Amino acid sequence: MVNFKLQMHVGKDKVLRFELPLDVGDTDVVVDVVVQTAPTTEPETDALGWPIGFFERTYGSMADTGLERPPQGEFEVRYEIE
């Protein structure tokens, strides 16, 4: 007995098509098929598109790294557009 686990895509026609090469030929086989929807890999997002809990999980995560923002220098003076 050989077990396979495949994740495939069902088209808009709602038909799953696949071929499965086996090491046996010219013989009867029993095939068990279990179909279940795959879990979504996209996280749920808030109204602005951020993953739920993103800021709670990441805020302060680099507090102990010693990073500092150096002086930014002077901005160049540009001509005004009229």
pLDDT in tens, the chain (82 residues): 777 778 888 889 999 888 888 888 899 888 888 888 888 777 788 899 998 999 999 998 888 888 888 999 998 888 988 8
The per-residue pLDDT for 67 is 87
Q: Report if pTM > 0.75.
A: no
- Three-state DSSP string of the chain: CCCCCCCCCCCCCCCCCCCCCCCCCCCCCCCCCCCCCCCCCCCCECCCCCECCHHHHHCCCCCCCCCCCCCCCCCCCCCCCC
The per-residue pLDDT for 61 is 87
Contact (Cβ atoms closer than 8 angstroms) between residue 51 and residue 43: yes
